[in-house]
A and B are shown apart, each in its own frame.
Chain A
Amino acid sequence: MIFDHSKHERDARAHIMFSKILIANRGEIAVRVIRACRELGIATVAVYSEVDRAALHVLKADEAYSIGPASATESYLNIDKILAVAQACGAEAIHPGYGFLSENAKFARACAQAKKKIKFIGPSAASMEIMGSKTKARQAMERAGIPFVPGTSRGAQSIDEAREAAEKLGYPVMLKAAAGGGGKGMRLVHNPRDLHAALEAAQSEAQRAFGDAEVYLEKAILNPRHIEMQILADEHGSTVYLGERECSLQRRHQKVLEEAPSMLVDPDMRRRMGEVAVRVAEAAKYCNAGTVEFLVDQKKNFYFLEMNTRLQVEHPVTELITGLDLVNLQIRIAAGEKLPFTQEAVAIRGHAVECRIYAEDPDNNYFPSPGKIAMLEAPAGPGIRLDSGVYEGWTVPIDYDPLLAKLIGYGDDRAQAIARLARALEEFFVAGIKTNVALFRRILADEAFRMGQIDTGYLERLLASHPRGKDEAKKDTADVAAIAAALFAALETPPKAGSNNGTDAADGATNWKRTARTEGLM
């Protein structure tokens, strides 16, 4: 990346940067935004629910205010409460992070209409409304001539209408909630027999999850790749693309591991996808950071899937390969600055892979595993970035998404990025709660993954197969574990009453313990 620093400084002077930003979020992303603000010399305001009083983002912020009970609808989704805090503390802008209110057009509009106007760091409410409904987005893209997955552009009104549409598209078809996301209200239908039940199930799930039962049909692309393009648009009419992210590693339609660039995408395909992404953004008059998601079939045809009108969880992989700071740029764009570089200056260097570390138990059907973090050892070293929202001793609450941290490996090429990430995962240790760290060790060691043979069905296939070699390796360490377990017990055995024999084993242990204590080791 080549910055024209002198030009950037001129622009910075021409606009007034915010002096205080409120972060309407929690967890690792709130900490990430606080870091960007600190670097820009902007004061930070955290908001927190009752259970988050001791959360990391509260510890790291300059100011912090309570916004209500644990339930997200009464706290992190409470528009009135958050705006009242912003007005009272004099915040000039709000960064919504991802999730919660980040894609809520009503919130963006309420910020603009507040008594003391507040800048929403993100796109306009109007752009969000176009992209917030998958059917509306399809209609807009149809007009702009964007390639998208064949299907209907409005919700099915009746089973007969759905049946007719499905026949026309050809089975298998995918049913999707118009307001959807995160795999909710989604059903894959292989034959006409199953359509009716699947439609009803998808509609009721959509109604429950989003308060909107609209479900439409798409031709199912089997085991596609999920590749997305990062874009940035300023408020002066410039839009650029920053390369793609490969997000095919998913479980139950939730991303688990992301990387950039994609092994599938060559420079020509990147340029074509990037140009389509820019057109998508322009069709929605889009400003700030956004992501255009594509499905890619086995012949490398790509289809517009949806646009995420916010910062993505996986933005760090793009930051590492472009050398850009997306949150920094989001804030500067919101302050009215022009993009400090052109499309030609965007260069991709190296490779980055991100693991989403969740509080969940891979050995027990991925049950969420909230609770107190008894021990936490974070990895470090060359090419390793850890964006974390937790610390040792913190109790992960049950009330929110179980994402603890994101661990990202960067290297000159994919093999080095993977090697560094695998090394860092060995260093990463969490006790007290279960995490999916072991799952990532398995993925990174898998031959098919290393060869880049991945699609959206990859992870389910890997999980269904038996882990190889793990049991033998475990046998080697079982003897050491037995000795260690006995040692831990021996170290805790109190000295026998009445015994003052200095050579007694229990006394010896206690002496050892005492020594360790004096040396500050215990």
Chain B
Amino acid sequence: MGIIKATLSLVVAVAVTYVLTSVLGTQFVLAEIQSFGLNISISDRIAATLHDIAGLVPVLLTLVSATFLIAFIIASIGARLFGSHHKGWYLAAGFTSLPVTMVLIKTAMGITPFAAAGSAFGLFLIALCGLAGGWVFVLLLRHRGA
């Protein structure tokens, strides 16, 4: 039962982080385009955001899922080995896992496939998206455990 709860919580956490990261990525790209002098209407912005949420599923959703699975397993082990503060472990896992993955991809491939990850500020915002996922995960676990 605990595994099922944890899995469902992970699925929701991944979904939240995926959507936030996708939306963030689109806004980054649109900001770049605006800097070239193009005006972006609200309808274009919404359409582009929705387009990317759908379009990023094969790559980014897979990436977030794999990253969170590994990170939260490590967090779970860490919390058991080093006592309490489960919440802190999962929040830390959520915050750090995606930026670390992006940096590893850059190191391995020599490029940054996700444009928003190309700057320290972008990585920080991606980390906040992961933190939100970690927070959702903790919240759901606590709620379901109550």
Is A bound to B?
Answer: no
